[in-house]
Amino acid sequence: MVARVRMMGRVAGRYPALLALLAQLCAALVVGGVIVVAQQYSSWRPSGLAAGLILGLLAASVGRGFGLSSWWWWLNLAFVPALLLFSGAALPSWVFLAGFLLLLLCNWNSVGERVPLYLTGARSRQQLAELLVRQAVDFRFVDLGCGPAGALLWLARRFPQAQFVGVETAPLPFAIAWLRALPQHNCRIRYENLWRTELGQFDVVYCFLSPAPMAALWARAVAQMAVGAWLISNSFEVPGVPADQQVELHDWRDSRLLLWQMPGVGRS
């Protein structure tokens, strides 16, 4: 049973869209079967939108059972109801194209890097600030996959003597982050793949990625970062490497910060 759960977790990290589709198919089979039986033995006739909402709730729950992250819950919930609503609306075709392009621009790196867009919440950044006060005042911090840089800029304003860098390859979040960072003297945004970022430049490396890249990121961190520097991951573990410290955030996502201090000789 444990092995099956772990396998599902690995699949969720590598192929979340496939599991989301599977969740939708499972929910459609269940809801369709219930409606067919109900029509045979009762007078219950749900409207299309009601059936879509039930299907969405079931698909979202199945997706969580598969190990999909919280933002997939909302996507699974809204997918079928949105299709039903839009199918009856007189919308020009360019609206659907624009919606597709918007999703693509925000999640461009989820295909090649298997890293969807996650936003660092208020509790996460507050806890990060409490951790960063232990650093020297001129510490160097990088956010791997900074998105629109809300948390990064909040921290940069709080620690004006430190240097902050955000790297991002999703075009729309990068453009937003770059423009927002222009007035902030100690924060710079790079259009850069996280695998091209030289981690040895930084005292603290922060990421909110997905399970898929964590093992490879750990290997790069150990190879490049100085002894005593910190790798901080929001929610996602390094397989087989227990964190030196964990900070529970007690938010709606059950998030936590996992911290590893870069080892000296003898640990890998």
User: What CATH number has the domain bearing residue 153?
Assistant: 3.40.50.150
Q: Which residue has the higher pLDDT, 33 or 110?
A: 33
Strand partners for 188 = 165
pLDDT at 37 over 70: yes
The confidence score (pLDDT) of residue 223 equals 95
Task: Look at the chain and count its residues.
Answer: 268
Same domain, 149 and 253: yes
Same domain, 199 and 129: yes
Query: pLDDT digits over 139-198, tens only?
Result: 999 999 888 899 999 999 999 999 999 998 888 888 889 999 999 999 999 999 889 999
Q: How far apart are CA 9 and CA 218, in angstroms?
A: 19
Q: Is residue 242 part of a domain?
A: yes
Domain boundary among 40, 74, 90: 90
The confidence score (pLDDT) of residue 7 equals 47
Residue type, 181: A
Q: Is residue 231 part of a domain?
A: yes
The confidence score (pLDDT) of residue 17 equals 65
Instruction: Please give the average per-residue pLDDT across 214-218, as a whole number.
Output: 94
Same domain, 75 and 132: no
Q: Is residue 254 part of a domain?
A: yes
Q: Is residue 12 part of a domain?
A: yes
pLDDT band, residue 13 (cuts 50/70/90): very low
Structurally, the chain folds into a number of domains equal to 2
Domain residue limits at 64: 2-90
Same domain, 136 and 242: yes
Q: Is residue 226 part of a domain?
A: yes
Same domain, 158 and 223: yes
Same domain, 60 and 128: no
